Amino acid sequence: MELRLLATFEKVAGVLSFTRAAAELKYAQSSVTSQIRALESSLGTELFDRLGSRIRLTEAGERLLPYARQMRELADEARAAVAGAEEPAGTLTVGTMESLTSYRLPPLLELFHHRYPKVRLSMRPTLGDETRQALRQGTYDLGFLMEAGTEHAGLESEVLAVEPLALVAAPGHALAGKELGTADLVRQSLLATEPGCAYRDLFERELKSVEDTVDFMEFGTIEATKRAAAAGLGISLLPEVTVAAELAEGSLVRLLWEPPFTLRTQLAWRSGKRLPAHVRLFVEQARKLVSEQG
């Protein structure tokens, strides 16, 4: 089996699209298709089910994927070893989320861009369940999680920091300056990001402990949620790091309610996975960055 064919297979399996894989690999789509067919021919089995415009891995493809990833990782390690490992190099696919990508990770991404240009980073925005699944399947090398729990089946993880949360509203909101309990919040206009986000789901669960039905006005991004809160549309629970600037400038105020749950920002990878040097470097630098940010 050629490493080139396995690398193409891994990319197609990761994005489940010949067109998108071709674009990311900078190949013609016909080249990607022919490479997959050549690999299937050499193995004597189909690796993908073609379902009209969609594809999915067959059982054989599912079994091959972790081996393809391991062989690519070993090839990267071998290249680094032969080159003397003077400069970190290799591909690194990381599952992340808006709150971290936009508000915590820019210094880390800037560091790798300038100091380690041979490390090819691919940041994939996904929520917790999807990130964990991609890590177990080998689609992601690393994944950032913001969760209350720290044990994840099939994964190893490192807690980087406790992630403070802030319940925010526009200045002059009726609840501003008052000591609040959960019962004081359920009748308010509630603003939130999409379901599946850990802090939104935990907040909803807490509210439902005092009121069976809780309605949220949902927004696609943290930025949109913040703007809606600042415009007086309601209250929202968000990671403190995402609203620090607005709290400092006064466009949002922090309400006097402390959530009865704690979220932890974590970095996770598949259990038993060999972490190549450039992946270990990313983990070390992420740990250092979050520690410095406090």
DSSP states of 207-219: HHTT-S---EEE-
Q: Domains of the chain by range and CATH?
A: 1-86 (1.10.10.10), 89-294 (3.40.190.290)
State the pTM of this model. Answer: 0.74
Write the CB contacts of 205 (distance below 8 Å, at least 6 apart in sequence): none
Q: In what order do the strands lie in the sheet with 142-147?
A: 119-125, 90-96, 142-147, 263-270, 155-163
pLDDT tens-place values along the chain, 294 residues long = 789 999 999 999 988 999 999 998 999 999 999 999 999 999 999 999 998 889 999 999 999 998 898 888 788 777 767 765 567 888 899 999 988 999 999 999 999 999 999 999 999 999 889 999 999 888 899 999 999 999 999 999 999 999 999 999 999 999 999 999 999 999 999 999 888 889 999 999 999 999 999 999 999 899 999 999 999 999 999 999 999 999 999 999 999 999 999 999 999 999 988 888 899 999 999 999 988 886
Q: What is the CA radius of gyration of the chain?
A: 22
